[in-house]
Amino acid sequence: MNSATPRRPPPPVPVTILTGFLGAGKTSLLNRLLADPNLADTVVLINEFGEIGIDHLLVEKVDGDMLLMASGCLCCTIRGDLVNALEDLLRRLDNGRIKPFRRVVIETTGLADPAPVLHAIMGHPYLTLRYRLDGVVTAVDAINGLDTIDRHKEAQRQVAVADRIALTKTDLLDPCDPAIFERLALRLAELNPGAPRLDVARGEATAAALLSAGLFDPDTKIPDVGKWLRAEALAEPHTHRRDHGHGAHGHAHLHDVNRHGDSIAVFCLTRETPLAPRAFDLFLDLVRHAHGPKLLRVKGIVALADDPERPIVVHGVQHLFHPAVRLAGWPDADRRTRIVFILDGLGRDFVEGLFSAALGEARTDSPDLAALRSNPLDPKPGGLLAG
């Protein structure tokens, strides 16, 4: 009798997306990260080796386009489809052709909208079993970043979906003109108040600080909801304080995080009472099927009435959502439902009205739950999902 038990699949490998617009200093940041011992046992997927100054880090060529770095990480170019590259890595790993790796970092092109890259990780049935999105790191040029964000929609979206923002070229700022940086800081706070901003020149943007931005700590596997959601930054107007060593003094600006001069909105919905599971499912189905392209990112922890002591974690990009994960218990003292929305072209009032209707909450001039169920996809102007 064969008593051998089936092998369990290995835990999913965390994946970090490194993005940033053309000229943001993303390549220089990647060079710094490649030399960081914290990236040992990491695979780095880049667009072209020629853009990365890795000669001094190169130890040997392992296989084709794959290089073994002095830091212990593997580096290879992305040839063709990203999904194929990620699948190929798994084949090499499972066949013993490369050493085991603990993390993947993907560097996107400067003009890339992050959403398709996130889709590749979150939407493929097999890849979702073997990889999990850890976070998005966006490099922003401190000198030209404000103009780039105002001119290019892709740059806005790169900032909006970021879990960490790496500020580059701050050492080149004119210390006699601090207003340039102040305006950029306020703009970043508008687009993404929850993302920590780390100064590359001051040594803040280390691998340890930029990575491990996901819900679960890669070593302990314990969820840290507060770090992942950063919902407190979205709760109310707050003070943004600048305290950088560029010859300028630190001072505060009052900033309304829910008021933007463009189409991107960032906010957090909270509820004290556990939600009915079917009502919450209805809300998610309605908003993602009708307005999926406008959902840059949705992430939250939700208390459901069927098991309020074991909340679920939801995470979605546009119309794609990870299967909800049921936690063993509440990871902290805050037991409220908290859902962070990062939207493009969809307002808070509409989403909150739809949320309230799905939960059966009474709101003036808003559809109720019965109306949603009877005619959920009314396409005419003024319909339930017209937005």
Q: Do 301 and 210 share a structural domain? A: no
CATH number (domain holding residue 288)? 3.30.1220.10
Q: What is the pLDDT of residue 37?
A: 82
Q: And the tokens for 246? A: 């560029």
- pLDDT band for 185, please (50, 70, 90 cuts): very high
pLDDT tier at 50 (50, 70, 90 boundaries)?
low
User: By residue range, what is the domain housing residue 87?
Assistant: 13-232
> 99 with 217, same domain?
yes
Neighbours of 365 (CB within 10 A): 5
Out of 212, 232, 252, a domain closes at 232
Same-domain check for residues 86 and 226 = yes
| CA distance readout (Å), 54 to 12, 68, 74, 75 | 28, 10, 12, 10
* Greater model confidence, 325 or 312: 312
Q: Write down the pLDDT at residue 31.
A: 82
Indicate whether 60 and 198 sit together in one domain.
yes
Per residue in 331-386, pLDDT (tens digit) is 888 999 999 999 999 989 999 999 998 888 865 555 555 555 555 444 343 333 34
Q: What is the largest CA-CA distance in the chain?
A: 80
336 to 185, 224, 225, 245, 276: CA distances (angstroms): 30, 15, 12, 38, 14
Other beta carbons less than 10 A from residue 272's beta carbon: 8
Q: What gap in Å lies between CA 201 and CA 372, rounded to an integer?
A: 52
For residues 206 and 125, membership in a common domain is answered with yes
Q: For residue 76, what pLDDT band results from cuts at 50, 70 and 90?
A: confident
Residue 291 falls inside a structural domain: yes
pLDDT at 311: 95
In this structure, the number of other CB atoms found within 10 A of the CB of residue 295 comes to 22
Does 328 reside within a domain? Answer: yes
Are 208 and 285 found together in one domain?
A: no
Query: pLDDT band for position 84 (50/70/90)?
Result: confident
Q: Where are the strands (E) in the chain, listed by range?
A: 13-20, 42-46, 58-63, 66-69, 74-77, 103-107, 131-141, 164-168, 197-199, 238-241, 252-255, 264-271, 295-302, 312-317, 320-321, 325-326, 337-344
Of 219 and 326, the structure prediction assigns the larger pLDDT to: 326
252, part of any domain? no
For residue 257, pLDDT over 80 is answered with: no
Last residue of a domain, one of 232, 251, 282: 232
**What would the mean pLDDT of 313-328 be, rounded to a whole number?**
89
The answer to whether position 310 is within a domain reads yes
Residue 381 lies in a domain: no
pLDDT at 240 over 60: no
Whether residue 299 is found in the same domain as residue 182: no
Residue 256 lies in a domain: no
For residue 248, is it within any domain?
no
Domain shared by 36 and 176, yes or no: yes
d(CA 134, CA 183): 29
Q: Is 220 in the same domain as 268?
A: no
pLDDT at 283: 93
Of all residues in the chain, the percent with pLDDT exceeding 70 is 74
Q: Tell me, what CATH number does 223's domain have?
A: 3.40.50.300
Percent of the chain with pLDDT over 90: 41
> What gap in Å lies between CA 174 and CA 180, rounded to an integer?
9
Q: What is the pLDDT of residues 9-36, one digit of tens each?
A: 678 899 999 999 988 988 889 888 888 8
Asked whether the predicted pLDDT for residue 222 surpasses 80, the reply is no
- What lies within 8 Å, CB to CB, of 55 at 6+ separation is none
- CA–CA gap between residue 387 and residue 365 (Å, rounded): 14
Check pLDDT > 80 for residue 251: no
58 phi/psi in degrees, rounded to 5: -70, 130
Number of structural domains (the chain) is 2
